[in-house]
Each structure stands twice: as structure tokens, then as C-alpha cells.
Amino acid sequence: MTLRILFAAPRRLWPEFEGPLNRAFARAGIVADLSPECDDPGAVDYIVYAPRGTITDFTPFVRTRAVLNLWAGVETIVGNPTLTQPLCRMVDPGLTQGMVEYVVGNVLRHHLGTDRYIRPAAPHWDARIPPLASERKVAVLGLGVLGLAAARALVRLGFDVTGWARRARRVSGVRTRLGPAGLRATLSGAEIVVTLLPLTPATENTLDAESLGLLAQGAFIVNPGRGALIDEGALLAALGSGQVGGATLDVFRTEPLPPDHPFWADPRITITPHIAADTRAETSAEVIAENIRRDLDGRPLLHLVDRAAGY
């Protein structure tokens, strides 16, 4: 049987993903007609999807067994009322490794205070010795696949890590907190905060004026999660008062970040253009193929999205 698989992602991605997906299907024993074109929605078996692609209405895809998202985040699709098919988010080993490297690199940068040597305002000899990692309190907000991987990497480096999650987690070397009280406990006295929460109505503006006020004076923020996790006005005010010493931001409410946005003018903010962790075609293709193979074999889909939770 030949499966009809629609590549419903932005057309610019087709040359990057066509070869890896077809090779992964062949290795999995899947005979597939993979195409970015669709003349008969009712004949499509699976949809490989990414935001700003070719579909907004899933109603005609009556035969489609699953929608397989290419990105980790699903906030742009999970609330689509026409989407009744199972939705799977991307959990890609390459994406996870990229996120770990971004988080560890920037946590170490803030921990060691290297910016004061790289970008000095004037010649100076600043011989302050940073504390050891074990003396540095790091908070990781979100203990999903990416948050867990980042927290474990920071623990291996010796950091004092506390994590906050919606569900109970048991992570060696990481104190885990739950609920609103747990969030306060996680942030209280934290010197570096890493935000890797999914974006839902419950997580928007997790870092607001109140929560930023719980941090240690001069704390640093690393946000490779979602831009709307942070109240932008509250962050700028906290930077202005010195409550927050600096922020490394990879994600924003509007992308690309507008040239007149005040973040560009604040020297305490480092802006990276949503490059912390990207979906790699070769590794993500294996995930897509494995999920289709599992579904065909009658096994549960991996990384199935909880519509009620939003991720």
C-alpha cells in the first residue's frame, strides 16, 4: 500500500526535508507518495505540518490518521477548531542537543561574567573571581524533554538546579517544584533563570513584575522557550532598576523583532534570532517515519499533544 503524505509546511522547507523524509520512510519500510501538493485532501493519510504552511482548514482531510508537527511548539495549531485528527509535536534528538548547547553556553556565560571582558566600556582590570557552579542557583522553568535535558546538563556541571513543572518529575540532582507555590519557591533567590515552558494561557507572562522581584538582585534570564513567557515591560523595568542584571533572549512576541523595539537599545539584553534549537531535517525525518510506522503497526503515537493542556 502506498501512503499519501502531504508536506504542509512552508514551501522553502521542501528542498531541505524531501530527501531526508523519503530516505527515512524507505528505512522504515514505508511506501510513500510524499508531496507538497494536494489535489485530493480526502486521500491524504498523514500530514507533515509546520506553521505558516499550506493548511489552515483540516476539515477536508477526512482520511488523515495524524498530523505530525515539525516543530516542538504547537501553540499556533493546537487551538484550531478544524483539527480533529491526532496531533504530535516534534521531539527530535538534534533539536534537543542544540537546545542543551544553547542553554549551557549562555548559563556559563552569565555565571562566569564573561561579558564584562568581551564588551568593556573602558579599559579595566576586573579581577573578581566567579563562584563555583555549586554556589550558583539556577532555576529551570519547564521540565519537558528540552527542560529535562538542559537541567541534567547543568547538574552535570555542578550547578544548584531547581526545576518547576506542571507534572511531578523525578530528576537526579534537581529539586522539582509544582504549582503556584512551587513557582515562587523556584524563583526565590534564583541567580539564573532558564525558561523552557510551552506557551499556553496559563504560562503567558510567567515572568512578570512580581515573579522577577523574587529573583536574587542582578539575576540573569535566558529565554529560548517562547517570547510571551516574559512580560516585556516588566523585564525592561527590572533591568532598569538592577533587579535583573541581564537577559539573553532567543524568542519574541513578534518575529523578526521590530527594529524599533526597545530590546535592541538595551545593552544588557543579548538578542539571538530564534536559533537556539532548530529542527534538523535528518533527525526529525526519523521521528516522523517512526511515528507513522508505529501507527501502521497499531502502536500508540509518540509525543501526542494533550489538547486540554495545550502541548
Sequence-distant (6+) residues with CB within 8 A of 153 are: 100, 103, 104
How many whole angstroms separate alpha carbon 80 and alpha carbon 307? 10
Three-state secondary-structure class, residue 294: helix
**Active-site residue flag, 136:** no
Hey, what's the torsion of the CAs at 156, 161, 164, 170, to 10 degrees? 50
Distances (CA, A) of 29 to 22, 24, 25, 296: 11, 9, 6, 11
The residues pairing with 221 across neighbouring beta strands, listed in sequence order, are 193, 247
How many CA atoms does the CB half-sphere of 112 hold within 13 Å?
A: 11
**Active-site residue flag, 294:** no
Check 261, 268, 274, 307 and give the catalytic one. Answer: 274
Give the residue numbers marked as catalytic: 226, 274
